[in-house]
Amino acid sequence: MTGKDRQAFWIVMPIAVALGLLVLLLATGDPASKRNNTFQLQGEIAPLIAGPTIDGGWFDIDEQRGRWVIVNFFSTTCVPCIIEHPELVEFAAAHDVVGDATVVSVAFDDRAENVIEFFRENGGSWPVLVEDTGQIAVQYGVTGVPESYIVAPSGVIVGRFIGGLTAVELDDAIATLSGADA
């Protein structure tokens, strides 16, 4: 090994070891908790979500004060989004009866035709926004889908789920949060 080879080795080796440890840490991290209790918007008034919905209506998150809102960012090509969709349908149906919570879906990098067809085939009667949703995703800090935010009846963001979720997880989160954050 020449002097330059040794020098390159001692430069590259620590970087390779650090990257290897990072990959190991990420691969063995605890995936059990999808609920992220510390995030940028926690405790803040939910950024504006307003616009036309796929059914020709209009949605404005500010008009939802007084009930829980689940803001769900999704894509019709995202497998975890497809898997979680029946759970959102179950949650929305149960809470439509009581009127204490609603879901709003925000399409993430998807075409309106795909979203309309997806909801026609898979159900879901809540508001779905597809137009100009990129800015909404940026304001919420969304990095991938599915990602969902829980907005308390006061309009404050109190929870976030990264990855797919279930109706039971949503109900449990709302039950936990309702005492202090409603």
In the chain, domain spans: 1-30, 50-181
Strand 101-107 and strand 128-129: the pairing is parallel
Higher pLDDT, 63 or 18: 63
Q: Would you call 48 helix, strand, or coil by DSSP? A: coil
How many Å is the maximal CA-CA distance in the chain? 76
Q: How much is the mean pLDDT over the chain? A: 87
Q: What percent of the chain has pLDDT over 90?
A: 71
For residues 16, 22, 26, 28, the Cα torsion angle rounded to the nearest 10 degrees is: 80
Tell me: pLDDT of 32 over 50.
Answer: no
Note the pLDDT tens digit of each residue in 119-165.
999 999 999 999 989 999 999 999 899 999 999 999 999 999 999 99
Q: Where are the beta strands (DSSP E) in 13-163?
A: 50-52, 58-60, 68-74, 101-107, 128-129, 147-151, 157-162
- Predicted local confidence at residue 85, as pLDDT: 98
Q: In what order do the strands lie in the sheet with 68-74?
A: 128-129, 101-107, 68-74, 147-151, 157-162
Note the pLDDT tens digit of each residue in 93-128.
999 999 999 999 999 999 999 999 999 999 999 999
pTM of the model: 0.78
Cis peptide before 146 (omega within 30 of 0): yes
What mean pLDDT comes out for the span 13-17?
A: 67
Note the pLDDT tens digit of each residue in 37-53.
456 788 899 999 999 99
> Which CATH homologous superfamily contains domain 50-181?
Glutaredoxin (3.40.30.10)
Return the residue matching tokens 């080879």: 5
